[in-house]
Amino acid sequence: MPKIVIIDYGVGNLRSISKALEETGATPVISKLGQEIHAADALILPGVGAFEEAVKHLKPISQLILEEIDSGKPLLGICLGLQLLFTASTEGGLRKGLNVFNGKVVRLPKDLKIPHIGWNTLKVLRPENPILNSVPDGSYVYFVHSYYAQVECRDHVIAETEYSIRFPSIIAKGRIFATQFHPEKSAAVGLRMIGNFVNYVKA
């Protein structure tokens, strides 16, 4: 079974992600150690909270993460983990991200109830993407966020969600996948997506 490291940088819902991975047959390890990250078959970048704090905690291992991505190692970003993959975020001022995806993270419109919390649907744009295997259009998933990503390249948007505006809820590029929602909190559909990621790593 693949060894998947959940990157522990002090921000994230690590135990529930680990439990979900175990249910799909993977061997999860929660770690921030360079040797563990390097030895992993794949990585998960979780995240809950503020972008600025996350970037600060992630900084000691950010270059290593980028090197692992460049080497072709699969990665799944979750919620704030998706946002950290972008060029920059406007949360707390303009803050630099990992720049894996070109684009900017911005606040949801002020006239909406913020944060966007609860179940919402996926509009599947690229059903052929491996992360969406057996995930039907209109599936419900669980969100908790106040910011969303503006993606420069529309080809990277795999699914969208509508919350007055349409925002990217799943993005992908090469062997990198990321969800704005929490698959580990999204019941059977979320577990299926985590299983799809594990199967992709195994393939």
Catalytic residues: 79, 182, 184
Count Cβ atoms below 10 Å from residue 70 Cβ, excluding itself: 9
What's the angle, vertex CA 97, arms to CA 73 and CA 198, rounded to 5?
30
Q: How far apart are CA 114 and CA 107, in angstroms?
A: 9
- Extract the tokens encoding 33: 């150690």
- Which residues are within 8 A (CB) of 169 and not within 5 positions of it... i.e. 6 or more apart? 122, 141, 143, 159, 160, 161, 179, 180, 181
Pairwise CA distance, residues 126 & 123, whole Å: 9
Sign of CA dihedral 78, 26, 157, 123: negative
| φ and ψ of 147, to 5 deg | -125, 155
